[in-house]
Structure 1
Amino acid sequence: MNAAILTAVATFAAAFCTLWAAHSFGDHWIQTHFQAITKGAPGWGGRLACLRHVATLTATKVIALGLVVLMTGLRLPLLATAAALTVDAASHYWADRSAYHADRRGAVTLERLADRLGKGDFYRLGIGTAAPCGTGAYALDQAWHHLWIFLTALAIAAGGAG
């Protein structure tokens, strides 16, 4: 295997592991309770809460990637990394706008996608107010984010290939 391939594989692995850990921490520890319960609400209040959540989540990912670069000497392609994190942030915002909110009537994003893919019943599994992290909505939300973490790491690695 040549050095360029090894570098791309190492970059992907480091980016993926870092983004996975940063996502988990940012989505569960950094996100405020207000953001969590408001980000799916209709109107500007919900939009702004979701934007704040996505901004702090993305900042957590940037800090984590920065620590990996600082501690390991790994070189990340700046433009590819910035573009990939921007797409990741947009995908996170899109999915989180359908977060559970008691006053919301019909989600317009992730729930609708789940319905169209035949996963609507799974999405609605469980009681959101009693155990929001044990619901089908939560499982599908996290699976959506994990897919985008994979794609983000792949884009970062591909951006440094060549």
Structure 2
Amino acid sequence: MSALTFAVVLPALLVAHNVADHWVQTSHQAATKGQHSHAGRIACAMHVLSYTALTAATVLLLWAVLGLAVSPLGFVTGQAVSAVTHYWADRRFTLAGLAARLGKAQFYSLGSPRLDRDDNPSLGTGAYALDQAWHWAWLFFAALLTAAV
């Protein structure tokens, strides 16, 4: 039954992630969460709190409606992995540092506004692509832990 649970939970977490990152997150949180300040840490924590509330509600709904084989420990472990890794990446300098160490700094900065240019920031940046790939990878593990623990 854990394979079925994983197969149901992973796409549900990906949908919840997309909604939480783009609809639930406030503009203030998105603009502030990467700042090297107390305000940045609080904005990121508030984003991750609302994000985790939505992913948890999604898994709880599936658990209740579909009778999935989820243990309380699996539920908590999956949500904790998702929340901690989401916070870590959304502080931005952490993921930028990892990208640099892995030789992805140029890709990370793709599409970013350039100094002394009138460039518009967009969702089509390397930073955004690496951020989303990071989240999706950890949601895979969160779903696996939810199903297996």
Short-chain TM bin: over 0.9
Q: 1:31 & 1:85 partners in 2: Cα distance?
A: 18
TM-score, scaled to structure 1: 0.85
Give 1:141's aligned residue.
131
Amino acid at match of 1:70: A
Where does the alignment leave 5 or more consecutive residues of structure 1 unmatched?
1-6, 99-106
RMSD: 1.2
TM-score, scaled to structure 2: 0.92
- The answer to whether the 8 A contact 2:71-2:146 is kept is yes
- Is structure 2 residue 122 aligned with structure 1 residue 132? yes
Pick one of 39, 47, 60 that aligns with 1:45: 39
Aligned residues: 144
- Is structure 2 residue 97 aligned with structure 1 residue 112? yes
Amino acid at match of 1:74: L
Q: 2:18 & 2:112 partners in 1: Cα distance?
A: 22
Where does the alignment leave 5 or more consecutive residues of structure 2 unmatched?
114-118
Q: Compute the displacement of 1:75 (Å).
A: 3.2
Pick one of 83, 87, 94 that aligns with 2:81: 87
In the TM superposition, 1:49-88 aligns within 5 A as 49-88=43-82
| 2:78 partner SS | helix
Amino acid at match of 1:126: G
| 1:70 partner SS | helix
Pick one of 4, 27, 49 that aligns with 1:10: 4
Give the percent of matched residue pairs that are identical in Structure 1 and Structure 2.
46
